[in-house]
Structure 1
């Protein structure tokens, strides 16, 4: 309940009760400053005879509103001249004493307690509600929601497993974004979660992890389910997650409250417990020896470790009783952070999910992990790289035969396959280039694409590509020409795995056309020797080439 009476007092002498009715919030979850708070104050007579209430109509009730660090007394906001009025209330009936509207004044976001009193009849009623001030979602700030896999690579759900959703904020703009959310702002679905909206600032292109939450399917019908997610009081923050749901029979035990505690010092140690919240015993029957299963989900929603179906589980039919109002540890285990692919899991906020499959009981706990850096290229060599190509695009010769002859081109890596392809980048520069005469030692070795990627892994998704900034290679440096001949540029990525390509360019020096002044005198005719083209020795180049340029054309 968002709005709940914490106490309701009546006068034992008059049998009168103070009743406070507060309109429900428009979103059914919390109140906001987009509308006033509307309150109706009533007096009910529980006696068998009519009762009379004498009160001051100028100030028919008193009110103190408070939170942990804030308080407002209605007496400080009004003037109460001495007046008197009598109200007669018939047996079993109630009458409206007053109505009150409030614009929230300077109240902070959070839980607010409303203590209403009627001093003449010595009546009191206390209510608590949640208030959230509104703010606009900053431009270029995006709320991202990732739905985790449930089993294998499936994302559909049944009654035995809630939807696990990972949330983060992304700065998709070019400027730093300072988050404007107050400390009481929370992630909301059909309820307010425990996840904060975040605080601090996010650099361009960076993300801020908000965390994981589990969304149950209580009351949901079979079929497609759309889960709306937003930040409380933040206008324009809504995103959605879509999944499919099918109700399945479960032997649930509602009185049991599951939880899992963890320790992540060297290993992930976990303890799965069930608390019996009822005053009667709880009975569990385990069909096999695997009474608890565990799986771990990475921030991208992928299951990186899963004990389900991976162990031998002989039938047992064991029965377990949990005494009233006690806590029972169902299972304890540990994990070494090595995923199902044999590699250590990556950085980020992961989610441990522990379940008791016979009764559909699930507990979760998130944890942060930082990869140790040992064997950073683990698993990359097992990928199929036949669909990945490093290529040269937009090759051009600039100022051909001039004093500043140079070539420009772009380097692009393309994934034409059906699955994403992973890279590991040991250094900050992504491309290594070598310039050399064909068959000679390199004249120059340098690096491009230096974007501080060292020590990181990246993925090119299916049918996607990445192009580095344009590369320009001069053949005249400070007026000094490179040797004339056939040059090649070899290009390779510094990643693991590595991809290579190359191009060729023929440089034959600066050619300045001679300017001849016309004269009136007739020049003596000089015979010109004919060149036999058959005597010209052809140029032969071997190898695989994306593109070849000459002084006159490219092919």
Structure 2
């Protein structure tokens, strides 16, 4: 008798097949046992069966009772009629193959009841939530069977492997390299959990370098069955901070007293004269340890790739509660920089409450503000108790707001604006909802009346009586230079040199003659270049050295030459077309800093025809001449435009940088040495030649000519005194300029403030009031009504441009139409839109149903292509940068910048700060245009 061994029927099979073949010397013929003769000869040889007949009785006797199969055959002893070796092997192989096939089917059937899963368990780092080389990640693995008993294959050379993927789904570690393709069975009983091999990751790539810090997906994978289990982890790998850079920590309080919360400002400084590139350092986040609690804070380099010479980069801040005395340690990953300090002991006396504070931004998502906006927020007090709590307030300063700039200086304090008063107030803090406290609004003005400098601002909100505080950061961007900033000690010297036949090379240097000074940039583009032809017309304007960030501050040491900005190449031929025609030009180079520094150079284009490529361009002599007259100040949206009135002609003042401390005034007349110059921003809208004052020859009070009093006396009533006209003009200009200048800074960029400010100014000057109605007034209001009927929703500035009216004219006529209830207004962000008052258009309409005026740029132009790209990205939630648009449209950044500014001017595109880059999106008007225009297709 031959008995077969037990075999594995498959990965999840658990059945046993027993094959028992009994071989006897007697063979089975037609169901009977044939006996052999005594002499060994076989009988009935003529009826010898074939193989099929021989195995039929065997197959017929198969039973599947517990899959136990028994087959018996009697074979002849006679060597002439016994099975030869070849015959015996072939039959057995066929039988075993059939039985094996049946056993596989049974195995697959039983596998349906098995339920095997792969489970993992991660070790937890001590005192932190991320893994480091000191506390690496390890993973325990288990097989768990919640079904019936089962078995499956396994490769013992690797068992379970570890795969790692980065945040973009790219595999950075492959554990299958350890597998050698072996096979061994694993049996699991019902309900059994079997521990397998432990996995670990050294956080390095194939080259042995550290993987970048960040989030990764780690997967335990069993190759033989395909079972897996994954989870997301965060790692911090060592980052080497360049030796040229220095971190600094500055601790500050709200006042000189050490009561209340403490704010620690973290800065990164580059004290060298060379730029430092940190783009290759990879992702890096500051590690913060307060007592025994560790957390990951701000980015090590604030998202900036290039730290410029003398730059002080604001990294972030740490807010410490008033009663906290725990030691604070900040460090970079790997510990290349580490700094520890302890808060000063606070003198504050506070009450206890189980609650926390949360700043309520009133639905605002982008924490970026610009000139003309106000910071309006509130604070929610959220209870962490399950029962109601009673709050006792003894002063009116329940919730307070104070703000720090990126130098750590307090630029706003609500307590200074509204001193505290004693009260006795009781409030209840419910566990079901927050308790909201209103905070004072802030218009980004400091106590001295000056605007804050652009950059990062730290907002701190606190409830002093209960020792609660919270903080956040906002970005303030101001594209208009701050008039309070001074650069009188700085000398800005630009230099241009030709680069072949189609480009210019621009470099600049600074000399600081006094104490150290921080140069503050207000625009992501460093330079604005304006080419002015001989007719004093702007031939071309572009911005260059862009992709910076607003608010960058550079330290210029005293008594030294500094060149913080790299040399930039300016392409003078774009799209195969030269920017300038051949001729003589004045190049105005404006440094987009606060205040704005402007220098002019005279040159001929093309430059390569007369200068060698390496020869710098010298300033050409400027023709000067003499003017005599009086000054008059005109208030515009960009500031005060000073006009010099001479005999029958007017000249606009460009600047007076070479005239020392002299400033124009309307109280005197004088003689001035001037030269032709480009217009200042405040005078851009006037069509008159602009001059720069080089020298003041003489200034004196204007002489008042004596009138013929006898003739005048007949025209004047008795007792009426004649006031000399020049004196009246001087007084009016001085008073007007002084008052309107105070409100201009706030009202210039906000139509909702500009319109009432204009009304107040016109009323003060006597231009509004009780006037007689004129035919021209009715005609102008008729034009205004007709235009609004055809273009409902047109905003204030667009009405001025379309109807060619001045600010005062259109304000006057709109006021009359509003009083007569012929038109009404709707505030839309920083704009004010006007609508005719009809049955279909009235103030009670839903805002979404209000129309906006149609616009019609050419869709095939570059501006139309920019709008189409912004529309496509906007529908997908993307907002491209200027550089991304230039790359996709295959145009230069200078050309794209020019068209983006034009689209912004017409209200089709708006720029938003996202991170450290400026991104662009369509305005509501542009979306309306694309949805209604048949020329634009929106797939």
* Match of residue 516 from structure 1: none
Q: Tell me how far apart the structure 1 counterparts of residues 128 and 278 of structure 2 sit (CA, whole Å).
A: 26
The two structures, once aligned, show a CA RMSD in angstroms of 4.8
One of 375, 383, 386 as aligned partner of 1:269: 375
Residues 409-449 of structure 1: per-residue CA shift (max 9 Å, x gap): xxxxxxxxxxxxxxx5424259xxxxxxxxxxxxxxxxxx9
**Superposed, which structure 2 residues align to 1:423-438 within 5 Å?**
425-428=487-490
Q: CA deviation at 1:294?
A: 0.8
Give secondary structure in 2 for the equivalent of 1:41.
Answer: strand
Query: Judging changes above 3 Å, is the alpha-carbon distance between structure 1 residues 298 and 87 closer, same or farther for their aligned structure 2 residues?
Result: same
* Match of residue 243 from structure 2: 139
Query: Judging changes above 3 Å, is the alpha-carbon distance between structure 1 residues 31 and 208 closer, same or farther for their aligned structure 2 residues?
Result: same
State whether residues 143 and 239 of structure 1, in contact with CA within 8 Å, keep that contact through their aligned partners in structure 2. no
State whether residues 186 and 193 of structure 1, in contact with CA within 8 Å, keep that contact through their aligned partners in structure 2. yes
1:21 partnered with 2:128: no
Q: Tell me how far apart the structure 2 counterparts of residues 467 and 74 of structure 1 sit (CA, whole Å).
A: 57
Q: Tell me how far apart the structure 2 counterparts of residues 425 and 170 of structure 1 sit (CA, whole Å).
A: 22
State whether residues 146 and 190 of structure 2, in contact with CA within 8 Å, keep that contact through their aligned partners in structure 1. no
One of 172, 183, 202 as aligned partner of 1:83: 183
More helix by share: 2
Q: CA deviation at 1:128?
A: 2.2
> What TM-score does the superposition give when structure 2 sets the normalisation length?
0.34
State whether residues 155 and 184 of structure 2, in contact with CA within 8 Å, keep that contact through their aligned partners in structure 1. yes
1:292 partnered with 2:392: no
State whether residues 114 and 150 of structure 2, in contact with CA within 8 Å, keep that contact through their aligned partners in structure 1. no
Q: Give the count of matched residue pairs.
A: 378
Q: Tell me how far apart the structure 1 counterparts of residues 221 and 383 of structure 2 sit (CA, whole Å).
A: 35
Q: Tell me how far apart the structure 2 counterparts of residues 327 and 177 of structure 1 sit (CA, whole Å).
A: 47
State whether residues 215 and 232 of structure 2, in contact with CA within 8 Å, keep that contact through their aligned partners in structure 1. yes
State whether residues 248 and 266 of structure 2, in contact with CA within 8 Å, keep that contact through their aligned partners in structure 1. yes
State whether residues 148 and 303 of structure 1, in contact with CA within 8 Å, keep that contact through their aligned partners in structure 2. no
Residues 502-552 of structure 1: per-residue CA shift (max 9 Å, x gap): xxxxxxxxxxxxxxxxxxxxxxxxxxxxxxxxxxxxxxxxxxxxxxxxxxx
Q: CA deviation at 1:24?
A: 2.8
Query: Judging changes above 3 Å, is the alpha-carbon distance between structure 1 residues 188 and 215 closer, same or farther for their aligned structure 2 residues?
Result: farther
Q: CA deviation at 1:303?
A: 2.3
One of 259, 274, 286 as aligned partner of 1:187: 286
The higher-RCO structure (CA 8 Å, 6+ apart) is: 1
State whether residues 383 and 430 of structure 2, in contact with CA within 8 Å, keep that contact through their aligned partners in structure 1. no
Query: Judging changes above 3 Å, is the alpha-carbon distance between structure 1 residues 323 and 76 closer, same or farther for their aligned structure 2 residues?
Result: same
1:152 partnered with 2:152: no
**Superposed, which structure 2 residues align to 1:309-388 within 5 Å?**
310-321=418-429, 324=432, 329-340=436-447, 343-369=450-476, 376=484
1:172 partnered with 2:280: no
Residues 95-133 of structure 1: per-residue CA shift (max 9 Å, x gap): 641123333343543111223245788865433221234
State whether residues 181 and 197 of structure 1, in contact with CA within 8 Å, keep that contact through their aligned partners in structure 2. no
Residues 284-342 of structure 1: per-residue CA shift (max 9 Å, x gap): 63514433211112323232322237524342424255573x66642143113333455
1:211 partnered with 2:316: yes
Q: CA deviation at 1:142?
A: 0.7
Q: CA deviation at 1:141?
A: 0.5
Q: Tell me how far apart the structure 2 counterparts of residues 217 and 80 of structure 1 sit (CA, whole Å).
A: 62
Residues 221-245 of structure 1: per-residue CA shift (max 9 Å, x gap): x4xx542222335x52223444224
State whether residues 456 and 474 of structure 2, in contact with CA within 8 Å, keep that contact through their aligned partners in structure 1. yes
Give secondary structure in 2 for the equivalent of 1:112.
Answer: strand
Query: Judging changes above 3 Å, is the alpha-carbon distance between structure 1 residues 370 and 112 closer, same or farther for their aligned structure 2 residues?
Result: closer
Q: Tell me how far apart the structure 1 counterparts of residues 150 and 465 of structure 2 sit (CA, whole Å).
A: 60
Q: Tell me how far apart the structure 2 counterparts of residues 51 and 147 of structure 1 sit (CA, whole Å).
A: 65
| Structure 1 portions without partners, runs of 5+ | 1-10, 378-423, 431-448, 460-465, 470-493, 496-555
One of 208, 218, 229 as aligned partner of 1:114: 218
Q: CA deviation at 1:352?
A: 1.7
Q: CA deviation at 1:75?
A: 5.6
Q: Tell me how far apart the structure 2 counterparts of residues 132 and 374 of structure 1 sit (CA, whole Å).
A: 41
Q: CA deviation at 1:145?
A: 1.7
1:303 partnered with 2:410: yes
**Superposed, which structure 2 residues align to 1:464-503 within 5 Å?**
468=559
* Match of residue 229 from structure 1: 330
State whether residues 282 and 323 of structure 1, in contact with CA within 8 Å, keep that contact through their aligned partners in structure 2. yes
**Superposed, which structure 2 residues align to 1:88-103 within 5 Å?**
96-103=195-202
State whether residues 400 and 461 of structure 2, in contact with CA within 8 Å, keep that contact through their aligned partners in structure 1. yes
Residues 367-411 of structure 1: per-residue CA shift (max 9 Å, x gap): 34468666637xxxxxxxxxxxxxxxxxxxxxxxxxxxxxxxxxx
Computing the radius of gyration from Cα coordinates, the structure with the larger value is 2
1:65 partnered with 2:164: yes
Residues 50-105 of structure 1: per-residue CA shift (max 9 Å, x gap): 9988744233224442232122574643335242254779999x764112333334
State whether residues 296 and 303 of structure 1, in contact with CA within 8 Å, keep that contact through their aligned partners in structure 2. yes
* Match of residue 128 from structure 1: 232
State whether residues 37 and 102 of structure 1, in contact with CA within 8 Å, keep that contact through their aligned partners in structure 2. yes
